[in-house]
A and B are shown apart, each in its own frame.
Chain A
C-alpha cells in the first residue's frame, strides 16, 4: 500500500523527464485501480495521431507533465505500455485488476473515490451527459437498472474499441451509482444485493 501518512515520497525532477528511481508494482496497481488520471493517460494512446510522450499527453489533457510521466512509467511497470526509441507505446488493451478479497466496504470506498474524480471534471466546457433523480422504488427494479446500464457501458466500450483512430474524438469517463438511502433491515428482507 501507499504511505498514507506522508507526502514525503522522493520524486525527482520529472518535468525534464528524468527519474530518480522506479515505481513499485504495488503502487502502480493501486494507481491503475483508482487514479483516473492514469486511465486518461492510458486512453490518450487511442486518440488520433497519439504520441507516447509526456509532453504531448500533458498538452492534450489538463494533467501536469509530472503526473503524466508517473502514469507512463507506472503503466509500463504493469506491462500495458513499453518504452521504445519513439517514446511509450501501448501494447495491451486490458488489464485484469485482482480484486478478490476486497470487502464490500472497500469496493464502495473505491467507487466513491473514482466517481468523485470523474465528477471533478464537470464544468461549463465539458461535453457529456448527466442525469440524477431520486424515487421510492424496490431493489428488483434498481438491480434491473444496474444490469442494463452495466451492459450498455460495456457495449459502448466494445463499440469504441472498434472505432478507427480518426473517429475517436476524446477520452470519456463514466460512472454509475444508485443507492438506497434508508438503512436496510438486518433480517435480510430488503437487504441490498446490488
Chain B
C-alpha cells in the first residue's frame, strides 16, 4: 500500500478518535493484520481495505458513484451548502452582503444555540465582504 494512503488512514483514525483495536473489531480485520498495515509492514486485501475506509466514514460506493457520474458528464453530486457557497462567491459584493444580511435578519430573534452560533459565523463572513476596492494612492 502506498505510504500516503496509510498516512491518510492514520490521520482519519486520529481525527475520528478510533483506536486500532476498535477499528479491527468494527471491520472484522485481525488486530495483527491491521497493525502491520498501519505500520506499513504489509498490505491488506481489497475487501478489508474497503471495510476499513467505510468504518472511517469514507463511503467507497459513493466515491465510485461520483466518479461514474463525472465520467458520464453528470457532474459531481454536491451538497446544497456547496451550491450556495458557489453562488455567493460568484455574486457581486453588494448582493453577497445583502444575502448575508437577509440570513441574519431572518434569524435575528432565534434562541436556538446552534443557529445563533452559525449566525455568528455569517456575521463574521459579512464583515469580510468589501463593496469597494482600494486603489493605492
Point out residues on A near B: beta carbons under 8 Å: 1-7, 9-12, 19-24, 27-28, 30-31, 34-35, 64, 66, 70, 74, 113, 116-117, 119-124
Contact = CB atoms under 8 A, between A and B. Distances in A.
A30 B129 CA distance: 15
B86 to A, nearest CB: 11
Contacts of A23: 132-135
Given A113-B98, A116-B98, A123-B105, A12 B89 contact: no
Contacts of A1: 92
A31 B108 contact: no
A30 B94 contact: yes
B137 interface: yes
A121 B131 CA distance: 19
Given A3-B93, A23-B133, 5 more contacts: A21-B134, A22-B137, A31-B94, A35-B94, A113-B95
Interface residue SS majority, chain A: loop
B134 A2 contact: no
A3 B95 CA distance: 12
Contact of B94 (A2, A12, A66): A2
A33 B58 CA distance: 49
Given A120-B105, A123-B105, A19 B127 contact: no
